[in-house]
Amino acid sequence: MNQSRAAAAASRYTLMTAAQAVREIAAGSTIALTGSGGGILEPDTILEALETCFQETGSPSDLTIVHALGIGDRVSRGTNHLAHKGMIKRVIGGHWTWSPTMIDLVRNDEIEAYAWPGGAISQLLREIGARRPGLITATGLDTFVDPRQGGGKFTASATEDLVELITLDGREYLRYKPFPVDVAIVRGDAIDPAGNITCAGEAAQLDALAVAQAAKASGGRVIAQVKTRLDHPIDPRLVHIPAVLVDVVVHAPAQWQTYASEFDPELSGDAANCRFSPGDNDDIRMLIARRAATEVDDGDVLNVGFGVSALVVDALAEQDRLDDVTLAIEQGLIDGIPVSGDLFGAARGPRVVHSSTTQFDLFAGGLLDVSCLGMAQVDATGAVNVSKIGGGIVGPGGFIDISQNSPRVVFCGTFTARGLDVEIIGGELVIRREGSVPKFVERVDQITYSGHLAAAQGREAVYITERAVFVLTPDGLELTEIAPGIDIDRDILPHMGFRPIINNPRTMDPGLFAPVAAHL
């Protein structure tokens, strides 16, 4: 490359401080963000500057924020920076748990709040980036996102219909309507002189490219936060956000890969060997996970969710079966060991790292054989709620995209919640104190998984607790297994809001009830 071409390439983007970059964001803008829990690909330097700008000047105000996955630390980072009355007008979010301050705005009806499937949001941003007429998909049918069940609205002020029901060739679909994106805020770990950005040193790529595409196609601006400015070109095969999409760059040399560490080579796939370390030593949680693992066949492509369901990986490791399955999580990672807890969304030693947008496409295309997910409420129809708990917004994250596109779903959780005290004694389950919150209710507060639709489509569902196992049938939930030491009339039926189908249930495998230490 001659000097004139090099100079032109070097001037393709504008270098700004975070404070300078956010001052150019106008009131009323729609901002699309990338990021995931635990600080994964989170442009926190820019988000913090945006908060400071609003606090000092009152601008920008009346913003619309769009994000597919949860962003924050449950305290002050991520979208918590943006949760100020007057600063935010509307949020379209996939997952909200990481941002309690934003949830407070929803609780007080101070913003227009919409919760959509995380994959649908990422894919819609890609469709906006291609100037197509929105996202047309079956994902979300017969759930709370379906216009017949509220269209994903969570506050009274959220009155605009952003999702519509359509029929094509005699089949029902949802159309997630497109909207212009004025600003994209993305992140990578390095940028070259031409302005090409790589995420090769990050824990995931997520939907950074789709977010940038949406803004560029809308005539908006792309602001990118990076840790390192290189003096040489990036390997073209490692460019994840091309320079032609980048307008403004914020150099953040103190940027960490995740909240946990500045850089962990295991999370970016740069470590030669990654050792598995058990994530939990709780006998009851592992009992549930072990039973769920029996639903996973060798050769399966498996997705695991948050909480107890994530421990299915531990159960498979106990059984030396991890090499017999392929793990795939929605953040765009295939294989490796998914990290649980606050770093959920990362994996140690992933063998494939591509965009979360692509991963959701693969899920919709039938990649998954089985998924192990959580459950907050279950009703007689087999419907599951994980998106609205205690009357508050949680959002589905990738739950709808995964559960609705998996031929088999294994729901995992304790039978009741809040205060449950259970112990395994002599190979039997002893309930010392019942939880005060029932999970098996007459009617779920919100449908995140439709048992009706699953049964009609021939998809299988199993619901596993520490004391009972249920399966989905065309006629509703059937009790098929009970734990040793459990009495149906004493320990199960009084704590359910409905009577399940009961046809001579068998006893759960006693081997599942061994202490965790016995398996290590």
Per domain, the residue ranges of the chain are 3-251, 283-519
> Which tokens go with 22?
């956010």
Q: Are strands 352-353 and 333-334 parallel, antiparallel or unpaired?
A: antiparallel
SS3 44: helix
The pLDDT, as a whole number, for residue 11 is 54
Measure the CA–CA gap between 36 and 281, rounded to whole angstroms: 26
The pLDDT, as a whole number, for residue 341 is 83
The pLDDT, as a whole number, for residue 7 is 42
SS3 37: helix
> Which tokens go with 341?
């807890």
Measure the CA–CA gap between 372 and 462, rounded to whole angstroms: 9
The pLDDT, as a whole number, for residue 10 is 52
The pLDDT, as a whole number, for residue 280 is 66
Measure the CA–CA gap between 234 and 456, rounded to whole angstroms: 50
* Residue-level length of the chain: 520
Asked if the bond preceding 60 is cis, omega within 30° of 0, the reply is yes
**What is the residue-averaged pLDDT of the chain?**
95
Displacement of CA 231 from its chain's centroid (Å): 36
The pLDDT, as a whole number, for residue 519 is 47
Catalytic entry in 51, 330, 466, 481: 330
Cα–Cα nearest to 220, from 427, 30, 20? 30
Helices (H), 58-189: 100-107, 118-129
pTM over 0.85: yes
The tens place of each residue's pLDDT in the chain, 520 residues long, gives 444 454 444 558 999 999 999 999 999 999 999 999 999 999 999 999 999 999 999 999 999 999 999 999 999 999 999 999 999 999 999 999 999 999 999 999 999 999 999 999 999 999 999 999 999 999 999 999 999 999 999 999 999 999 999 999 999 999 999 999 999 999 999 999 999 999 999 999 999 999 999 999 999 999 999 999 999 999 999 999 999 999 999 999 999 999 999 999 999 999 877 766 666 678 999 999 999 999 999 999 999 998 899 999 999 999 999 999 999 999 999 999 999 888 889 999 999 999 999 999 999 999 999 999 999 999 999 999 999 998 899 999 999 999 999 999 999 999 999 999 999 999 999 999 999 999 999 999 999 999 999 999 999 999 999 999 999 999 999 999 999 999 999 999 999 999 999 999 999 999 999 877 554 4
SS3 30: strand
The pLDDT, as a whole number, for residue 54 is 98
Measure the CA–CA gap between 238 and 264, rounded to whole angstroms: 19
Per the annotation, the verdict on 330 as an active-site residue is yes
Cα–Cα nearest to 379, from 489, 477, 481? 477
Is 3.40.50.2300 the CATH classification of the domain at 3-251? no
Q: Are strands 476-482 and 501-507 parallel, antiparallel or unpaired?
A: parallel
The neighbouring-strand residues paired with 338 are 347
Helices (H), 58-178: 100-107, 118-129
DSSP-derived secondary structure for 196-211: -EE-TTSS--TTHHHH
218 touches 180 (CB < 8 A): yes
CATH fold label, 283-519: Glutaconate Coenzyme A-transferase (3.40.1080)
| Identical fold between 3-251 and 283-519 | yes
Measure the CA–CA gap between 481 and 510, rounded to whole angstroms: 12
The phi, psi pair for 460, rounded to 5°, reads: -100, 150
